[in-house]
């Protein structure tokens, strides 16, 4: 993020999260105040409001940076339109930041513990301005690439060590070389932006905050493999991302950056958007291509692989948004620079979307090899309400759940797989002691079962049976032999499913059985939920030895079912109680059974 400015700049987060929190109204309020005070004339500087993309700390929107000439940026959080007059008068005119509105030190710590490369322009540039993009090294990467042969461009990507950021981590340069080597004049390049993992929004934020950066990365890829046509496959639930990307494509076509002679550099590339209907299975590349072709999104057997026979039977290369976003920076700074970041097996940085029981939810970008503990505690401030960390689910709904003893696992492809999870697209769901791991496995399996295309029997039928077993266990109806049956079915489904969805869907069950088997056994043998999360197994009584007599449960009960007086232990009237769990959620001492 820029620290100083020649003119006065107000940077406002207008990603989806920012707009939902009222950032457009905040931007209008700043513009109105500038006019009201005649600020440009009064200060002798041009005053600009820049509508940027996501900053990452989404829970603190609206985030606003004030950049005055010669001074460091000052960040305000939770900004509303009615706060703007005070910020303008006291800070921008009076040169005295409104201290009580300034973001706390956690914001500086949040950024200081990251290495923002892909996100370096998000939150800094006007997301819809091609001039702002060009002023921040935009299109210098493609200009460098076309001075090299196609083989040398691919070799540079190989040398960088970039692995695909879409889940499997296949080496990007090697993937490009396969498509380049396949004979044929008609080839396709596809960007997979079908981000369907619950709680994941990394790709969306890049599309909303730096759409031209994605276009440049795809231009380099198209030049390298000898391709003239490309698609960005985006789920229709991302209207702002689609709008900004389409604006960027239209602007590039208008200015001759895309088309028959891209930037006058002697190669042809046309790019268009395909909006998907939101099927999770279309994140799998063969199902994605079927969707582009107008067919139902269902996986196809491989081989042949897309590099040989892909979209409309032509050689096709598919990478996701984060992968293409990395490519530009490799050519800005060189493969040696890129390969110096990260670990031996995973180079560069990785973006993660953190949700769940963590103090600061949002997007973080850290070097590969950073430990899970550093991400959760140093970057995101630790566990909400200072409760105990229990597990983190890594890799989306098909990832694994890692316990406290795996917190020192490095966030790279090989380390996470060894620990029983996977990098996946980068979703991290943090859980505390109030989370039931059996219920978590049920939740994610329910998601993948619902999103299965139904083409192959192991996925269509097997996941349904596994889900039925998990539902029985969480309702206190588990039986001896259920755990062995779950494990056998999980391994069979992984081995025999047609595509990556079925092959990875059992992972949450297998990882929770590996690390939290005792919770399953408690549900089945003792008919209790150790985390007090499964409603059919809850007693809704106060544990007298644990109760701190604070009255928090009394204050949140919506039906006045809790009897409490100051200094006394609370009591739950079971006749009034609706078992809504509000008291349990509010109690930081886990004194509700």
CA 102 to chain centre: 26
The pLDDT value recorded for residue 249 is 97
Domain 349-432 has CATH 3.40.50.1950: no
CB atoms near residue 108 (< 10 Å): 11
Element (H, E) at 232: strand 229-235
DSSP 26-85: HHHHHHHHHHHHTHHHHHTS-EEEEEE---S-GGGPSPEEEE-TTS--EEE-S--GGGHH
| Per-residue exposure over 372-396, b if at least 16 CB sit within 10 Å of its own CB, e if not | bbbbbbbbbebbbeebebbbbbbbb
The pLDDT value recorded for residue 5 is 58
The pLDDT value recorded for residue 357 is 92
Give domain limits for the chain. 8-104, 130-339, 349-432, 437-526, 538-593
Would you state the CATH architecture of domain 538-593? 2-Layer Sandwich (3.30)
The pLDDT value recorded for residue 396 is 77
The pLDDT value recorded for residue 213 is 96
495-525 tens-digit pLDDT: 998 888 888 889 899 999 999 999 999 999 9
Q: What order do you get walking across the sheet with 316-320 strand by strand?
A: 270-276, 229-235, 188-193, 316-320
Q: Is the pTM of this model over 0.85?
A: yes
Provide CATH code, domain 130-339.
Answer: 3.40.50.11540
The pLDDT value recorded for residue 42 is 67
36-79 tens-digit pLDDT: 888 776 666 788 899 999 888 888 989 999 998 888 889 999 99
CA 168 to chain centre: 16
Asked if residue 176 has pLDDT above 90, the reply is: yes
Q: Quote the DSSP letter at residue 348.
A: S
338-348 tens-digit pLDDT: 999 999 989 99
Asked if residue 356 has pLDDT above 70, the reply is: yes
Q: What order do you get walking across the sheet with 427-432 strand by strand?
A: 362-367, 349-356, 427-432, 389-394, 400-403
| Weakest-pLDDT range from 216-220, 266-270, 542-546 | 542-546
| Weakest-pLDDT range from 210-224, 242-256, 494-508 | 494-508
130-339 against 538-593: fold identical: no
CA distance 334 to 215: 19
Higher pLDDT, 197 or 555: 555
Nearest by Cα to 420 from 509, 489, 502, 490: 509
Query: 392, 358 in Cβ contact below 8 A?
Result: no
Mean residue pLDDT of the chain comes to 90
The pLDDT value recorded for residue 588 is 81
Q: Which residues pair with 543 in a beta bridge?
A: none
The pLDDT value recorded for residue 128 is 94
In this prediction, residues 385-410 reach a mean pLDDT of: 85
Element (H, E) at 362: strand 362-367
pLDDT-based confidence at 492, cuts 50/70/90? very high
Distances (CA, A) of 445 to 386, 417, 532: 29, 19, 21
CB atoms near residue 312 (< 10 Å): 11
**Fold annotation for 437-526:** de novo design (two linked rop proteins) (1.20.1440)
Nearest by Cα to 106 from 356, 362, 429, 360: 360
Query: 206, 322 in Cβ contact below 8 A?
Result: yes
| CATH class for the region spanning 8-104 | alpha beta
The pLDDT value recorded for residue 326 is 96
| Weakest-pLDDT range from 29-33, 117-121, 209-213, 397-401 | 397-401
The pLDDT value recorded for residue 1 is 44
The pLDDT value recorded for residue 207 is 95
Asked if residue 359 has pLDDT above 50, the reply is: yes
pLDDT-based confidence at 4, cuts 50/70/90? low
86-135 tens-digit pLDDT: 999 999 988 899 999 999 888 888 888 899 999 999 989 999 999 999 99
Higher pLDDT, 350 or 545: 350
Higher pLDDT, 152 or 279: 152
User: First-to-last CA distance in the chain?
Assistant: 48
Give the percent of the chain with pLDDT over 90: 57
Asked if residue 193 has pLDDT above 60, the reply is: yes
């Amino acid at each position: 993020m820029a620290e100083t400015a020649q003119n006065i700049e107000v940077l406002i987060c207008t990603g989806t999260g920012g707009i939902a929190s009222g950032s457009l109204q905040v931007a209008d309020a700043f513009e109105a105040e500038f006019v009201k005070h005649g600020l440009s004339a009064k200060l002798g500087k041009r005053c600009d409001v820049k509508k940027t993309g996501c900053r990452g700390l989404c829970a603190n929107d609206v985030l606003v940076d004030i950049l005055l000439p010669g001074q460091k940026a000052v960040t305000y959080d939770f900004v509303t339109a009615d706060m703007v007059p005070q910020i303008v008068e006291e800070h921008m005119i009076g040169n005295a930041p409104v201290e009580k509105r300034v973001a706390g030190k956690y914001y500086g710590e949040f950024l200081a513990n990251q290495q923002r490369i892909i996100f370096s322009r998000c939150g800094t540039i006007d997301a819809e301005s091609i001039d702002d993009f060009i002023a921040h090294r935009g299109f210098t990467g493609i200009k460098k690439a076309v001075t090299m042969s196609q083989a040398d461009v691919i070799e540079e990507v190989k040398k960088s060590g970039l692995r695909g950021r879409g889940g499997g981590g296949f080496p990007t340069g090697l993937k490009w070389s396969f498509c380049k080597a396949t004979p044929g004049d008609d080839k396709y390049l596809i960007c997979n932006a079908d981000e369907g993992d619950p709680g994941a929004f990394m790709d969306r934020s890049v599309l909303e905050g730096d759409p031209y950066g994605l276009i440049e990365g795809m231009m380099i890829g198209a030049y390298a493999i000898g391709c003239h046509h490309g698609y960005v496959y985006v789920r229709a639930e991302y209207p702002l991302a689609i709008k900004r990307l389409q604006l960027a494509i239209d602007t590039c076509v208008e200015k001759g950056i895309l088309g028959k002679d891209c930037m006058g550099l002697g190669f042809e590339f046309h790019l268009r958007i395909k909006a998907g209907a939101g099927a999770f299975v279309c994140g799998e590349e063969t199902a994605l291509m079927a969707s582009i072709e107008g067919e139902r999104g269902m996986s196809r057997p491989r081989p042949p692989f897309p590099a040989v026979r892909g979209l409309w039977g032509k050689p096709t290369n598919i990478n996701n948004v984060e992968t293409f976003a990395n490519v530009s920076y490799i050519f800005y700074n060189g493969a040696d620079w890129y390969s110096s970041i990260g670990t031996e097996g995973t180079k560069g940085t990785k973006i993660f979307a953190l949700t769940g029981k963590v103090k600061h939810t949002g997007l973080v970008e850290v070097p590969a090899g950073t430990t899970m503990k550093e991400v959760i505690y140093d970057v995101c401030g630790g566990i909400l309400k200072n409760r105990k960390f229990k597990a983190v689910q890594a890799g989306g709904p098909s990832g694994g759940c890692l316990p406290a003893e795996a917190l020192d696992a490095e966030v790279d492809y090989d380390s996470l797989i060894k620990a029983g999870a996977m990098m996946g697209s980068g979703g991290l769901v943090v859980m505390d002691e109030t989370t039931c791991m059996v219920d978590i496995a049920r939740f994610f399996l329910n998601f993948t079962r619902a999103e299965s295309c139904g083409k192959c029997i192991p996925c269509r039928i097997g996941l349904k049976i596994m889900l039925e077993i998990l539902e029985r266990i969480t309702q206190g109806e588990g039986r001896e032999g259920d755990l062995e049956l779950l494990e056998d079915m999980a391994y069979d489904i992984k081995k025999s499913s047609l595509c990556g969805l079925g092959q990875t869907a059992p992972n949450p069950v297998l990882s929770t059985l590996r690390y939290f088997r005792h919770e399953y056994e408690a549900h089945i043998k003792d008919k209790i939920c150790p985390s007090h999360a499964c409603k059919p197994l809850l007693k809704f009584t106060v544990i007298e030895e644990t109760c701190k007599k604070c009255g928090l449960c009394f204050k949140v009960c919506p039906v006045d079912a809790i009897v409490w007086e100051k200094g006394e232990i609370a009591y739950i009237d079971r006749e009034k109680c609706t078992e809504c769990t509000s008291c349990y959620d509010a109690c930081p001492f886990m004194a509700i059974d």
